[in-house]
Homo-oligomer: A and B are copies of this chain.
Amino acid sequence: MPNRPNRPNTGAAPLMIAVLGAAGRMGSTVCDAVQGAPDLALGPRLDVGDDVAALAGRGVSVAVDFTVPSATEANVHALIDAGIHAVVGTTGWTEDSLARVRTHLAEDGRGLGVLVAPNFALSAVLAMRFAAQAARYFESAEVIELHHPNKVDAPSGTAMHTARAIAAVRTQAGLGTGPDATESTLDGARGAVVDGVHVHAVRLRGLVAHEEILFGNPGEQLTIRTDSFERSSFMPGVLLATRTVAERPGLTVGLDGYLDLG
């Protein structure tokens, strides 16, 4: 059954959603989004010091975790013990911590679902997937990311990830680096080179978070652009995840695992 983004499930009791980190910026935005969705009900809001285990037996179906790296793994294990599906946007997960969750879910045996996702913006998640699909079909590929000027890292993590994904596909398809006859250059003009893919970072007052992925062949160009204008851009993805997690037993890493891209 396809998931139904942007559309409430109808004809059923609303799913009760708990929010961990509910007083934080992301957490409070999640609370608002859940309250605005007719098929979801906002349940307990937890913050620092609250006992996750106490959620058991209170009718909570799914918990959304936007807390801190030092707390999130323990939260997820407690949610599994409480029989609650988990949607996690907190960063800081490692291969080891993910493996422990996978093991716990298998031992639990009740078919619970856990999603750990670094990015819930549907446009960004889809852009990344489309870039990987397109990469084998073009001679040239470059990435431009554009952000507000308060950002401390350049390029963005998303742009690095995109470039690496494109590079991996190009390698697999037997494509080398893209054509580039540059002989005379000013330092930095051609951007950073990530696994052979050039990445350019713009910092401009007024912007939030934007990425353009450019592909070129003789006589044609394909451009995939994603714009996140504000924090609320994560909410359609978070709501989609809360509606889907119960149907996807086990651990899923990355929201694209929940998307129906057939």
Contact = CB atoms under 8 A, between A and B. Distances in A.
Given A137-B5, A186-B154, A223 B225 contact: yes
Interface in A227-254: 227-236, 240
Contacts of A202: 142, 144, 191, 198, 200, 214
B221 A226 contact: yes
A4 B174 CA distance: 7
Contacts of A204: 140, 142, 178, 214-216, 221
Q: Binding site of A, secondary structure by majority: helix, strand, loop or mixed?
A: mixed
A228 B207 CA distance: 10
Contacts of A129: 133
A83 interface: no
A150 interface: yes
A241 B192 CA distance: 34
Contacts of A6: 137-139, 175, 217
A179 interface: yes
B223 A180 contact: no
A205 B190 contact: no
A181 B201 CA distance: 12
A124 to B, nearest CB: 8
A172 B6 CA distance: 13
A54 interface: no
A122 B150 contact: no
Interface string A209-226: 000001111111111111
B222 A123 contact: yes
A155 interface: yes
Nearest to A176: B7
Given A5-B137, A202-B144, A189 B186 contact: no
A183 interface: yes
B183 A153 contact: yes
A56 interface: no
A203 B134 CA distance: 18
Find the residue from A127, A130, A137, A173 having the highest chain B CB count within 10 A.
A137
